[in-house]
Amino acid sequence: GAGVTKILDIEALLARAFPREATVRKSSGGVAKPIATAAADIVVRRRLITFDVAGQEYALSLDAVREIVLAPDSLAYVPGSDEAVRGVMAYRDGLLPLLSLRVLLGLGGHAPQHSGKIIVTVVAGTVVGLIADNARSILSVDPRLIEPAPKVLSARAGGEARIQEIYRAGHGRLISILVAETLFREDVMQKLAQTTAQAAAGGAVADGTTAELRFLVFRLDGNEFALPIDAVDEVARVPEQITRLPKTPKFLEGVVNLRGTVLPVVDQRRRFDMPPSDGGAARRLVVVTSGAHRAGLIVDSVTEVLRCGADAIRPAPELMTGEALALVGSVINLEASGRMLLLLDPAELLSRAERGLLDSFSKTAAGKDTRQSRP
């Protein structure tokens, strides 16, 4: 008369959650053989950086974005310039012309100056800043979900003509993909180049021939940290549902299903023995690649994409010891702004224990498949 109790097959659950990179099948003799992956099956994903303009979501290719900075408190107005040109701001060793995406896209009005983000890009050899209302996320997307913009939009003369492609992100979410070169008329670009050259008096912002690096900057408990942009797959909101795993390190929050992929999630506050977060809406999941593993890092907020020279990278303070020294191998010293960011080493994002844990999952799954393949 008692109820029914379901017994879980833990090995099978782990095998599905952490599949091996090589799929195994049985031959006619019962021997397991790896399935060769055809080149046509390999999908090269595209990385986009998304932002809001007048309540709509747009994107640019991450490769086209040099960095993202906060809008300045004040701008130098350029008289007689195009309506889209909002002015110039001090930028590194020169001046950066700023243009309103609202005007360029025909959406009207201007974003609140002090809350906007400046997306720095290069158009026809000229470095420009595009003013967006807010920066949203970095996405690693399947190109098969990106389609050309409908011809009816391309035929219009307004901001719709600037939309090149549309990404179907799921759940009714559509992201319009822009190409920076198509945002400007020819005469605007000519004026822009002249304005930049005159304002900088021979010290205009250059295309950047020196070796420079890009980093994703995020905050933890009021402190600024950075990761090399090449180690970041994407930035997303923290999922509401996180499945916890028993007998794992305390800072391993659990696993999440991110668009069909199971990822281990590390709470970076716990990793650095910081007090728990209040779970604010600004929290983000930074998906990174560390060696053969991928993981999601929970951070308080993502603030910008930073570009700096290699000479700004300095060794970490000698006061750091143990795991902190291994994880924070260097600092980024921005002397001009008085900022110092702790630079995390992507190779150390997952501890030895975490990497061993994930490897053991794979070995367990592999061993089970081998046993099942025996006659």
- List, for residues 46-89, the tens digit of each pLDDT value: 999 999 999 899 999 999 999 998 887 766 665 555 677 787 78
DSSP string, 141-196: E-GGGEEEPPHHHHTSSSGGGGEEEEEEEETTEEEEEE-GGGGS-HHHHHHHHHHH
> Residue 206: pLDDT band by 50, 70, 90 thresholds?
very low
CA–CA distances in Å: residue 104 to residues 161, 180, 273: 10, 10, 46
Query: What are the pLDDT digits (tens) for 107-143?
Result: 876 555 446 889 999 887 788 899 999 888 899 999 9
Most confident of 253-262, 263-272, 363-372: 263-272
Q: Where are the alpha helices (H) located in 233-351, listed in sequence order?
A: 268-271, 322-327
Query: What are the pLDDT digits (tens) for 271-330?
Result: 777 888 877 788 899 998 877 778 889 999 998 999 888 888 887 665 554 555 567 778
Query: What are the pLDDT digits (tens) for 9-52?
Result: 888 887 777 665 444 444 445 544 444 445 455 678 899 999 99
Q: Are strands 301-309 and 212-220 parallel, antiparallel or unpaired?
A: antiparallel
Residue 179: exposure state from Cβ atoms within 10 A (0-12, 13-18, ≥19): middle
**List of E strands, 190-245:** 212-220, 223-228, 232-237
Domains belonging to the chain, first-starting first, are 46-200 (2.40.50.180), 212-361 (2.40.50.180)
Which residues are registered as beta bridge partners of 220?
223
Q: Is the Cβ–Cβ distance between 113 and 75 less than 8 Å? A: yes
Most confident of 46-55, 159-168, 251-260: 46-55
Amino acid present at 134: N
Torsion, Cα 241 247 252 258, to 10 degrees, reads: -40
Question: Does residue 171 surpass a pLDDT of 60?
Answer: yes
Query: Which pair of tokens denotes residue 149?
Result: 């913009």
Length of the chain: 375
Q: Is the Cβ–Cβ distance between 204 and 190 less than 8 Å? A: no
Torsion, Cα 288 294 297 302, to 10 degrees, reads: 20
Backbone torsions φ then ψ of 37, nearest 5 degrees: -90, 120
Q: What is the pLDDT of residue 286?
A: 93
Q: What is the pLDDT of residue 21?
A: 46
**pTM score:** 0.60
Closest CA to 98 of 62, 125, 126: 126
Query: Which pair of tokens denotes residue 367?
Result: 């061993």
What distance lies between CA 104 and its chain's CA centroid?
Answer: 25
